[in-house]
Amino acid sequence: MRILKAFLADVRGATAVEYGLMAALISAAVVGGLTTFGNSLQNTFNTVSNNLDSH
């Protein structure tokens, strides 16, 4: 019974899970931001390229 109580009181696993969730959310935000920025940058370069081709 004492081992079971010690196991249930141990919070190290919960902390690791929380850090894992935070890392996953940060990664998702970074990927989303880079995707949006990348598309915007691609559109800018396409516009510049099209304007240079037409002149």
pLDDT over 80 (residue 28):
yes
CA separation for the pair 23, 41 (Å, rounded): 26
pLDDT computed for residue 38 by the predictor: 86
Report the C-alpha gap between 30 and 42 in whole angstroms: 18
Q: Where are the domains of the chain?
A: 1-54
Determine how many CB atoms are found less than 10 A away from the CB of residue 54. Answer: 6
DSSP 55: -
Mean pLDDT of 27-54: 91
Share of the chain above pLDDT 70, in %: 95
Distance from C-alpha of 20 to C-alpha of 3, rounded to nearest angstrom: 27
Percent of the chain clearing pLDDT 90 (strictly above)? 45
